[in-house]
Amino acid sequence: MIFKYRGIDAEGNKVRDKVEAISLGEAKSKLKSKKIIYQSIEEETLAFYEKFDFNPKYKVPAKELASLSRELAMYIRSGISIVSALKIVQTHYENNKKMKLFLNTVSSYLDEGKDFFTALESQNIVTLPEFFKQSIKVSESGGILDEVLMELSRFLKEQDKINKEIKAAFAYPSFMIIISLLMISFMLAFVVPQITGIFASMHQELPTPTKVVIAMGDFFNDNFITILALIFTLSALFVVLMKKSYGFAYSVHKFLLKLPLFGEIAQKSELARFSYIASLLTRSGVPFVQTIQLSANILNNLVLKELFSTAAKKVVEGKLLSNALNDSKTKIDYAFIQSVALGEETSQIQSVLTNISELYFEENRDKISMLLTLLEPALMLFVGGSIGFIVAAMLLPIFSMSIS
């Protein structure tokens, strides 16, 4: 629970903030340990819209988490304790109440004697990736917290950069598709019906393209609201099923992997992310079986996630990861399996995984660039061809009249 309070701190300054605690008594004890004399303290009530939020935890953006990790790593390398580092970092989040409360809560747990991992695991303010917390757990016990935090920062920053590049790359094509569909729908629903009356007064046989366009225009004009409602309903249903139905989401992800070019890009993107985080966890000292399980958890594609989770169970039984992947019904890039087999044979799995991630990230950049190069003229042809067909179909009867 979150409690908000007003009071006076040890230096005599008025303070107004929030504290996380299981009960009111614990909240008061935490304020007392911080030498804060509270004047009022009460449980924070949720806003109306927050009551319907099924996941009230704040999901920290990758860029923000990368920045936080880098700051903490730098302070720790400078000889500052993690407790002091967190208190310094808190001052950078005055405008972000969730992050400030999160850091304040973690600091409170550290003051109580808990280690950094346990503090992160105990807080209920934000959602952190599982691999992030496990990396912290292992690095703390190994005394390499600053190194791992810096590596996590690089990984998260790279992931954020890649996601932004992909979104920026597909922004223009998406815009073109939406605008073209809106233009075609507008012409069929409003422009074509206005011209249809003219053709009706001609009392002559219309060309087939004109009949097709008129039929489409009548259909759109008569069912325009129904079509919009159907599109909205199907879109909402798809989103709900993707979140609530594992079988449906699994089928969609399996279909995506089978798409030409798009499937290859999606698969290599997931394998690159798996390889990078697996190399990081291996370097941090995480046992290889646990590394596979944690790395699988960051994958978005359920088919590949299940593949690696199953492979992890076979590795526990004594099988090599490369053999487990090769024997699976779900087939992935054979070059990936060969590379993993080479790493296992030479005991250089961490270096091999790092190289795989770099190679696949680079390959995907080239393929996306090529895809966009081909997609832009294709979209222009689609827009021009569709609108040109409608205009030509409307002009054909007029041309036939002038010829006759």
| pLDDT tens by residue, 129-144 | 877 887 788 777 767 7
Q: Which among 213, 339, 216, 319 has a CA at the least distance from the CA of 272?
A: 339
Predicted confidence at residue 54, as pLDDT, reads: 42
Q: Does the structure show a pLDDT above 90 at 155?
A: no
Residue 19 CB neighbour total at 10 angstroms: 23
Percent over 70 (pLDDT), the chain: 91
Predicted confidence at residue 255, as pLDDT, reads: 93
More confident residue, 49 or 151: 151
Q: How many residues does the chain have?
A: 404
Distances (CA, A) of 225 to 120, 230, 231, 358: 50, 9, 10, 49
The residues, any chain, with a CB within 8 Å of residue 16's CB and separated by 6 or more, are 4, 5, 6
Predicted confidence at residue 400, as pLDDT, reads: 67
Letter for the amino acid at 343? G
Virtual torsion, Cα 171, 174, 180, 183, nearest 10 deg:
-80
Q: Give just the sign of the alpha carbon dihedral 279, 280, 284, 289.
A: negative
Q: Does the structure show a pLDDT above 70 at 204?
A: no
Predicted confidence at residue 339, as pLDDT, reads: 92
Reported as type and span, the H/E element at residue 41 is strand 37-43
What tens digit of pLDDT does each residue of 51-101 get?
444 445 778 888 889 999 999 999 988 888 888 888 888 888 878 888 888
Under the banding of pLDDT at 50, 70 and 90, the label for residue 177 is confident
Q: Which among 25, 26, 34 has a CA at the least distance from the CA of 17?
A: 34
The residues, any chain, with a CB within 8 Å of residue 159's CB and separated by 6 or more, are 62, 273
Q: What is the mean pLDDT of the chain?
A: 82
Q: Does the structure show a pLDDT above 80 at 50?
A: no
Pairing of the two strands 58-59 and 126-127? parallel
Under the banding of pLDDT at 50, 70 and 90, the label for residue 403 is low
Q: Does the structure show a pLDDT above 70 at 404?
A: no
Q: Does the structure show a pLDDT above 60 at 278?
A: yes
Helix, strand and coil percent figures for the chain, each rounded to 5: 75, 5, 20
Strongest mean pLDDT among 113-117, 198-202, 281-285 = 113-117
Predicted confidence at residue 1, as pLDDT, reads: 64
Looking at residue 205, the DSSP 8-state letter turns out to be P
Under the banding of pLDDT at 50, 70 and 90, the label for residue 154 is confident
Tokens of 118: 């346990």
